[in-house]
Amino acid sequence: MVLAWASAMGAPSRPVEAESGTAEEGIIVAQRRSGHVTLMDVARACGFSVSTVSIVLSEAPLSLNVAETTRQLIRAKAQELGYHPDAFARSLRRRRSQTIGVLAYDLSDPYCLPVVRGIQEGLQPASYLPLLMDAQTERRLFDKYLQMVLERRAEGVIVIASWVFDETDLLSDIQKNNVPIVIVSRDLTARGVSSVLVDNEAGGALALRHLHALGHRRIAVIRGPEEMFDSGPRWAGIQSAAAETGIEFDAQLVFQLPSLVDPASGFEGGLDCARRLLAGGQAFTAVLAFDDLTALGVVRGLVGAGLRVPEDCTVLGFDDVLPAAVATPAITTIRQPLREMGLLAAEWVLSAVEAREQRREQMPLLHRAPPELVVRMSSAAPAGRETQNGRELAEVT
């Protein structure tokens, strides 16, 4: 067996048996079952009391009353042993967890990653730890994680919302417990929840105007799933811009994606819509897809049928996720400032936590981020080939 000093004050009394240990300059340091080095371990190694070691390592005002040589010795020994403060114990003392629950609808969706990185970037300077949870587009997991957020006493919650997100009763429980919550990608300000999202209607209009400016008139549109929050506003923006520019949509060129079960469903939906477009034989020179993954599916379907993008057909997406930028051809898209939206969500939730601690009332906030057109390889003028393209499509099918 290995021996360790029993005195918490660092003064030798009688040796006791420890489970395991490491000898440091003749002093045996006990190791906890968890393997983490504790204040008591540092105190034993230094020969000073736990309270003195705690005061020095926490840089409390009282540490100025401790001799400089002693402070240097304690810090050196703590570094040598690999000591790190016990945030869990500190949170119990302060009744503050220093954690923010971050619930994403599906981390495999490229949309979520830039938002999460923005959130992490916003929380890190304030020394808050994001408790990241992936609902995997399952309502059961979503509700379970919200419960866990309450049970773990997270100080705030950020939800990256999607079609899977519903106004669950657990939202009310979070609000009843006075836990600040911010929603990304959905407007729930009517329910008292601060919300950060892109201006979807403006984005839909921006996309249609870009196609019109290039000279496209026969435009196919792939709308998002009916239950997805973004679908309605984007379609409204497209229709508004079409009315302004005099474009009339052919009902046979307007499709709607089915319910999505995972991010790959968008790609498959775009591929299926492209095949249906080709099979219909209607002339079109551009496809305005609901999002980038749908646009990538459309490109796959068109290229698989022998058409070229953008020479034979322009394809436009929405979101500006990474696959859109690195694909061949790179997808022209409507950019959502995803990282910036995550940063703002983190700023708002920390501000709300501070307001709660100061007992200040804070009204729900709403930010609609302006969309941005990003022109890449997948869009070009039709070059007067509308009729020719229609014949080519008929021949291909």
DSSP string, 213-258: HHT--SEEEEEPPTTSTTHHHHHHHHHHHHHHHT----GGGEEE--
d(CA 41, CA 10): 9
pLDDT given for residue 384 in this prediction: 61
Model pTM score: 0.75
pLDDT given for residue 17 in this prediction: 32
- Residue 313: what are its φ and ψ, rounded to 5°? -160, 130
Q: How many angstroms separate the Cα of 169 from the Cα of each of 142, 176, 191, 224, 337?
A: 12, 11, 12, 26, 30
Domain 97-197+338-364 CATH assignment equals 3.40.50.1100: no
Domain 200-337+374-396 classification at class level? alpha beta
Same fold yes or no, 2-85 and 97-197+338-364? no
Q: Which residues of the chain have pLDDT under 50?
A: 1-33, 385-397
pLDDT given for residue 21 in this prediction: 38
CATH of the domain spanning 2-85: 1.10.260.40
